[in-house]
């Protein structure tokens, strides 16, 4: 008997091959008697064996099909309801083994009087599988090289140039004023992207880089650019965002607030690895998973206390039984130079490794913890802001630039224009970087009330504990709240009214919170917003304008020198109806 299969208008099959006898299985079962979710979706109540055979015969007669066309009949939904397709597939696979793997392309498979070539057909002879379309092979030609002049910077720090046809080209490793030879690695409809392989002319703002691995690392994209030009570009970036996104014609921009350009970072995530038996500590190259080892003198933007930890980390890694299971460690330093290390582990540490870590921390007076929350060796760790002592737990968010953080907090609290008895709502409070100084300032003014909310419940609990006994006459309500949930935000606004609103949202902004603000007749009279992304800040600014607020001033804050990141503090007043 000839088995014929029809699919997509093509008739395929192998002659002189008989389908093995069909034995009914349980509903939704496969060849091993296990249930199959696919057949449960279509299956009717399980019929008895005799009824199953009669149903098969009736369907064949009703559809005027012959047993030779059984393959096509089996693909109908009504037949799939009861036919054990998986059992048939299993028996065919046993009788006709599948072609060899891709490595043996071109090998012939003899079935009956026909032969099939793996590289030509790509399907099993009796399973009616269409050949998969071959992937387009990449051209072996090298990527094109072009020469362009860089005239601007993108928001991620890449240089921007123009191809001869006017198409934009984003170039990693280039600065304004440079003329570079670029290897184009990505071509799109509206722009191309590439990497500078050679600098033909240096721009007027380029200066010698203080870091030996700055080009390979890419973490400090602007480290070879004059700091004064960095400040001007960051201020202009915030202004352009407010003009184009928030539709503010003349943004009230104030001079940028800056600190030390180098040696300022008090927090960093470093990578660990054993490479050919040698322990290495470094960072991931920008936009890749490739690690760039740090030089012996460390990183130019880390504080000295953290650079002193790098060599001990290199010595620690070979001592651990599971060293390869410690891919990353967060190292932190407080204002007094005390350090702690939070290790990320892929597997639970053995007791021997735990003992090794504790001994390593005791020898250096370094706190030891795991990213899972376990603390092996606690250490006194505190930051001082506005006279308040902040002690965030290991792994909690804290500003990386602790030298400029007090100025950022002062700007925000001054913008609130607090008075005795004010009720303040602080959203995205974290573990209290702004909340504790806010409570202390209200206490000095004579009292008030603060409602601090955040979606991270452990951070809120830490905040409530740290605020105990801090400000006499100031009530604190610390609440966990999902600030992306509309119902939770609506319930939060129902606890008002408040005199002032303090925001420190993440990169995504505060869309849900501000969406409900415009519908509140008792909305706060003053709003201060700290933003870590200019475009996100401009979108939130547009929502504040729609809610009836006027922007008084915007202060750019260079919390991350040598990078394209810039923060800002904006002050808003409610316009009287």
> What's the pLDDT tens digit per position in 426-438?
999 988 999 999 9
**3-class SS of residue 349:** coil
What share of the chain has pLDDT > 70, as a percent?
Answer: 74
Give yes or no for residue 2 having a pLDDT over 50.
no
Q: Of 397, 395, 393, nearest to 372 (Cα)?
A: 395
- Average of per-residue pLDDT values in the chain: 81
Q: What is the mean pLDDT of residues 194-201?
A: 93
Q: Which of 220, 299, 388, 532 is catalytic?
A: 532
Question: DSSP class of residue 514?
Answer: H
| Cβ atoms of residues 260 and 302 within 8 Å | no
**Would you give the end-to-end CA distance of the chain in angstroms?**
88
What residues contact residue 528 under an 8 Å CB cut-off, 6+ apart?
412, 415, 416, 500, 501, 502, 503, 569, 570, 571, 572
Give yes or no for residue 68 having a pLDDT over 80.
no
pLDDT band at 394 (very low <50, low <70, confident <90, very high): confident
Residue 387: the pLDDT is: 85
What share of the chain has pLDDT > 90, as a percent?
Answer: 52
Residue 153: the pLDDT is: 95
Residue 421: the pLDDT is: 93
Residue 143: the pLDDT is: 74
User: Of the ranges 208-222, 403-417, 464-478, which is most confident?
Assistant: 403-417
Query: In b/e form, how buried is each residue of 217-250, taking b as 16+ CB within 10 angstroms?
Result: bbbbbbbbbebebbbebbbebbbebbeebbebee
| Cβ atoms of residues 501 and 475 within 8 Å | no
pLDDT band at 51 (very low <50, low <70, confident <90, very high): low
Q: Would you put residue 399 in left (φ > 0), alpha (ψ -120 to 50) or beta?
A: beta
Residue 108: the pLDDT is: 59
Residue 13: the pLDDT is: 43
The helices-and-strands tally (H runs, E runs) of the chain is 16, 26
Torsion sign across C-alpha atoms 275, 278, 284, 285? negative
Q: Of 43, 49, 46, nearest to 79 (Cα)?
A: 43
Tens digits of residue pLDDT in 289-321: 889 999 989 999 999 999 999 999 999 988 887
Q: What is the mean pLDDT of residues 65-86?
A: 49
DSSP sequence for 449-479: EEEEEES-HHHHHHHHHHTTTTSTTEEEEEE
**3-class SS of residue 350:** coil
Distance of alpha carbon 184 from alpha carbon 433, whole angstroms: 44
**3-class SS of residue 359:** helix
Better pLDDT: 398 or 563: 563
Give yes or no for residue 373 having a pLDDT over 50.
yes
Tens digits of residue pLDDT in 17-41: 444 444 444 444 444 444 444 444 4
* Catalytic residue check, 532: yes
Residue 114: the pLDDT is: 56
Q: Of 321, 310, 327, 400, nearest to 354 (Cα)?
A: 321
Residue with tokens 């409070």: 429
Domains, the chain, ranges and CATH? Answer: 3-117 (no CATH), 145-206 (2.40.50.140), 267-377 (2.40.50.1070), 383-574 (3.40.50.150)
Residue 135: the pLDDT is: 62
Strand duo 388-390 + 383-385: pairing = antiparallel
Torsion sign across C-alpha atoms 234, 237, 241, 242? positive
pLDDT band at 500 (very low <50, low <70, confident <90, very high): very high
Tens digits of residue pLDDT in 162-188: 999 899 999 999 999 999 999 999 988
**3-class SS of residue 146:** strand
Residue 115: the pLDDT is: 57
Residue 551: the pLDDT is: 96
What residues contact residue 232 under an 8 Å CB cut-off, 6+ apart?
none
Tens digits of residue pLDDT in 318-351: 888 765 566 889 999 998 889 999 998 888 888 9
Give yes or no for residue 65 having a pLDDT over 60.
no
């Amino acid at each position: 008997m000839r088995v014929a299969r029809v699919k997509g208008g093509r008739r395929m099959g192998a002659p002189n091959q008989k389908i093995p006898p069909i034995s009914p299985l349980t509903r939704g079962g496969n060849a091993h008697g296990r249930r199959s979710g696919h057949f449960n979706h279509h299956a009717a109540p399980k019929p008895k064996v005799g009824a199953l055979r009669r149903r098969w015969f009736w369907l064949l007669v009703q559809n005027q099909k012959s047993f030779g066309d059984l393959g096509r009949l089996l693909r109908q939904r009504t037949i799939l309801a009861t036919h054990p397709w998986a059992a048939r597939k299993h028996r065919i696979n046993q009788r006709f083994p599948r072609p060899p793997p891709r490595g043996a392309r071109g090998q012939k498979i003899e079935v009956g009087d026909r032969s099939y070539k793996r590289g030509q057909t790509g399907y099993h002879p009796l399973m009616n599988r269409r050949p998969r379309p071959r992937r387009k092979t990449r051209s072996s030609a090298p990527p094109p090289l072009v020469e362009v002049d860089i005239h601007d910077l993108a928001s991620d720090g890449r240089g921007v140039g123009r191809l001869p046809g006017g198409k934009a080209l984003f170039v990693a490793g280039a600065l304004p004023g440079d003329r570079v030879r670029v290897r184009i690695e990505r071509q799109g409809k509206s722009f191309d992207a590439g990497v500078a392989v050679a600098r033909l002319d240096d721009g007027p703002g380029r200066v010698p880089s203080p870091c030996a691995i700055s080009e390979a690392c890419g973490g400090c994209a602007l480290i070879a650019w004059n700091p004064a030009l960095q400040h001007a570009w960051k201020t202009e970036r915030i202004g352009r965002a407010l003009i184009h996104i928030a539709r503010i014609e003349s943004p009230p921009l104030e001079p940028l607030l800056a600190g030390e350009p180098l040696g300022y970072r008090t927090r960093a995530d470093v990578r660990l690895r054993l490479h050919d038996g040698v322990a290495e500590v470094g960072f991931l190259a920008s936009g890749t998973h490739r690690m760039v080892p740090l030089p012996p003198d460390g990183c130019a933007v880390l504080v000295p206390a953290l650079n002193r930890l790098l060599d001990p980390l290199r010595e620690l890694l070979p001592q651990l039984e599971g060293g390869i299971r410690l891919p990353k460690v967060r190292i932190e330093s407080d204002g007094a130079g005390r350090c702690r290390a939070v290790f990320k582990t892929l597997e639970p540490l053995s007791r021997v490794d735990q003992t090794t870590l504790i001994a390593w921390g005791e020898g250096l007076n370094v706190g030891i913890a795991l990213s899972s929350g376990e603390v092996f060796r606690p250490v006194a760790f505190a930051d001082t802001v506005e006279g308040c002592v902040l002690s965030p737990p290991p792994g909690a968010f804290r500003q990386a630039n602790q030298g400029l953080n007090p100025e950022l907090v002062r700007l925000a609290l001054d913008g609130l224009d607090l008075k005795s008895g004010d009720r303040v709502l602080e959203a995205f409070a974290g573990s209290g970087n702004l909340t504790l100084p806010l409570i202390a300032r209200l206490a000095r003014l004579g009292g008030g009330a603060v409602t601090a909310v955040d979606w991270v419940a452990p951070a809120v609990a830490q905040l409530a504990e740290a605020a105990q006994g801090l400000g006499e006459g100031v009530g604190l309500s610390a609440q966990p709240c999902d600030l992306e949930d509309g119902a939770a935000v609506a319930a939060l606004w129902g606890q008002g009214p408040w005199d002032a609103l303090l925001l420190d949202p993440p990169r995504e902004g505060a869309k849900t919170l501000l969406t409900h603000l415009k519908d509140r007749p008792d909305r706060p009279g003053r709003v201060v917003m700290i933003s870590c992304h200019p475009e996100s800040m401009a979108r939130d600014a547009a929502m504040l304008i729609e809610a009836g607020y006027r922007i008084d001033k915007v202060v750019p804050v260079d919390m991350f020198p040598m990078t394209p990141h810039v923060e800002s503090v904006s002050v808003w007043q409610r316009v009287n109806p």
